[in-house]
Amino acid sequence: MTEAVAPEEPLAEDVAEVPRRRLLVFEVGGSTFAADMNAVREIVPSQAVTRLPGAPPTVSGLINLRGTIVTVIDAGACLGKSAWRRNGGLILLAGYGNGVIGVGIDDVRDIHDALPEQFSDAPAGAPNGVVVCGVVEIGGERLLLLDVPAMVREVLGQEEAG
């Protein structure tokens, strides 16, 4: 009599883990965007912003964050949308050099883990092609994927040139 042998099941550690990207989904200027969570250090409530004379529209101004002066850029202005809601909005804090820079947004919707097949190239004609690095599909919705460090570099480069 032959005994039936069940095929060996792979052990949990033998199963290759599918690479995922953790994304922050947020709103600014009436549109929804996504960005890599590793680009964001912290999210803080909006606070009084001191406007800088002569600063471009992409620079909202300065805030005092726990004793540190932080420049805040306007994600809406950077993306050709309406300005972020300074009253009731949020500020994403991102690293820049040895310091921190703020990015003003309207609201955070969620955090999602996305698989590689959910990503595609940025469409031709996407607003500000330097900061839009692709498209991600989350829950049946196609969102522009933003490169937050590129947005910061572009704004600060404009500020230094101006």
Instruction: Calculate ∠ Cα 129-42-156, nearest 5°.
Output: 40
The CATH number given to 23-161 is 2.40.50.180
For 5, residues 6+ apart whose C-beta sits below 8 A from its C-beta are none
CA 95/CA 41 separation, integer angstroms: 7
pLDDT digits (tens, 9 = 90+) for 18-73: 688 999 999 999 999 999 999 999 999 999 999 999 999 999 999 999 999 999 99
Predicted TM-score of the model (pTM): 0.81
Q: Is the pLDDT of residue 155 over 70?
A: yes
Return the amino acid letter for 139. G
Spell out the domain ranges in the chain.
23-161
Q: Is the pLDDT of residue 128 over 70?
A: no
